[in-house]
């Protein structure tokens, strides 16, 4: 069985972009792959954050993952910092990653821009991400389009390691969806939906109250013109709504275009708002029930970390051995 790995940061506020670009596919893939999914708390500490909230946000993130349909009986669900093999492998991979490669990462450029104090962790972030993937010999990595460059680096690191030290790592393939790989901010459809946006006006959180969700979608900025057509370059606002509608009603974009063909933008907005609210309702109910029993969540994470550690520590031993380190 092929293996899949992916990760999400514990912001506690998963948005529709995360869900449509990645999580929806995590859920699909848990049925046909040996799936490993982690909450990447060590990545979250590379930028300023609130230590007192991190643990709660990690639990909340896991509860949201379970609420959207991840099943611990099918997928191994764990917290990155509970499996020390990730950081151990990262150190080894530091030595096969070039400074120039990291400097070219657009996410680093974006996140470091305008900051006085940029941590070394933010610079090395993509190496830890490569370690997350390679330490499980993952074949496929379901991510949104914004992670494409990081995935390419992980592939280069794996190939370089294998060339220098022998065939140790599987070179992973990115699994980037054809639709909704880049969900855009509703208020500013030229930018991707992102938790670091200056306003939450254009971001639909999975846990947002229904009225807020409906309002955000009904107020979505759309393009000039009146024709309902899927064309992300020329019509980013309408295309975004079409992708969201397709995803939450579980249809193809073509079917949604056919339904709204010849109708006004307003109609599409109202229908998408209603469909999204209806889609989120059972997720929010499951989330509330899961959060009533945080002990059950920590138990799932503890089982996940044990299983993940077994796999991951074997790979670290193989990597160290290939690199010529003295066995302990």
Stretch that binds ligand TYM, among 6-14, 239-247, 254-262, 276-284 (CB under 6 A): 6-14
Query: Which 125-164 positions form the footprint of ligand TYM (CB under 6 A)?
Result: 129, 132-133, 141, 143-144, 146-147
Catalytic residue among 53, 74, 192, 307: 192
Distance CA 131, CA 316 (A): 10
How far is the C-alpha of 253 from the C-alpha of 245, rounded, in Å? 8
Q: Which two tokens stand for residue 47?
A: 């930028």
Instruction: Tell me whether residue 37 or residue 258 sits nearer to ligand TYM (CB atom).
Output: 37
Residues 6 or more apart whose CB falls under 8 angstroms from that of 25 comprise 142, 175, 177
Closest CB to ligand TYM among residues 232, 321: 232
**Backbone phi and psi for residue 54, each to the nearest 5 degrees, phi listed first:** -60, -45
Kindly state whether residue 86 participates in binding ligand TYM, applying the rule CB under 6 A. Answer: no
Q: Is 83 in the site for ligand TYM (CB under 6 A)?
A: no
CB-nearer residue toward ligand TYM: 61 or 284: 61
Could you confirm whether 269 is annotated as catalytic? no
Active-site residue, selected from the candidate residues 74, 111, 307, 320: 111
Is 195 a catalytic site residue? Answer: yes
Q: How far is CA 97 from CA 6, 103, 118, 161, 328, in A?
A: 21, 11, 19, 9, 25
Give me the least distance between CB of 123 and ligand TYM, in Å please: 14
**Site membership for ligand TYM, residue 21 (CB under 6 A):** yes
Task: Kindly write down the DSSP assignment for every residue of 52-82, as one continuous string.
Answer: HHHHHHHHHHHHHHHHTT--TTTEEEEEGGG
Looking at beta carbons only, is 90 or 284 nearer to ligand TYM? Answer: 90
CA distances, 135 to each of 23, 107, 131, 296, 302 (Å) = 21, 23, 6, 27, 19
Residues within the interface to ligand TYM (CB under 6 A): 5-9, 17-18, 20-22, 40, 43, 129, 132-133, 141, 143-144, 146-147, 181-183, 192-194
Catalytic residues: 111, 192, 195
């Amino acid at each position: 069985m092929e293996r899949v790995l992916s990760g999400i940061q514990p912001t506690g506020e998963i948005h529709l972009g995360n869900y449509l670009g990645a999580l929806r596919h995590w859920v699909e893939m848990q049925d046909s792959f040996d799936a490993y999914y982690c909450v990447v708390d060590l990545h979250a500490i590379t930028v300023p954050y609130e230590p007192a909230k991190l643990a709660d946000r990690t639990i909340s993130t896991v509860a949201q993952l379970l609420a959207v349909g991840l099943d611990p009986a099918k997928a191994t669900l764990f917290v990155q910092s509970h499996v020390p093999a990730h950081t151990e492998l990262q150190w080894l991979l530091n030595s096969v990653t070039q400074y120039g490669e990291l400097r070219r990462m657009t996410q680093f450029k974006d996140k470091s821009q305008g900051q006085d104090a940029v941590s070394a962790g933010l610079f090395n972030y993509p190496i830890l991400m490569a370690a997350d993937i390679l330490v499980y010999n993952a074949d496929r990595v379901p991510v949104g389009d914004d992670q494409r460059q990081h995935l390419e680096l992980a592939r280069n690191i794996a190939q370089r390691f294998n060339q220098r030290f022998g065939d140790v790592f599987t070179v992973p393939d990115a699994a980037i969806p054809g639709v909704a790989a880049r969900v855009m901010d509703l208020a500013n459809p030229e930018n991707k939906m992102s938790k670091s946006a200056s306003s939450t006006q254009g971001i639909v959180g999975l846990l947002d109250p229904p009225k807020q969700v409906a309002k955000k979608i009904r107020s979505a900025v759309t393009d000039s013109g009146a024709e309902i057509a899927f064309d992300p370059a020329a019509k980013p606002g309408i295309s975004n709504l079409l992708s969201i509608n397709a995803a939450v009603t579980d249809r193809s974009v073509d079917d949604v275009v056919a339904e709204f063909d010849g109708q006004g933008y307003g109609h599409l907005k109202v229908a998408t708002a209603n469909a999204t609210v209806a889609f989120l309702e059972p997720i929010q109910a499951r989330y509330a029930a899961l959060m009533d029993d945080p002990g059950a969540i920590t138990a799932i994470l503890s089982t996940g970390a044990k299983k993940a550690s077994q796999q991951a520590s074997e790979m670290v031993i193989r990597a160290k051995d290939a690199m010529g380190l003295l066995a302990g």
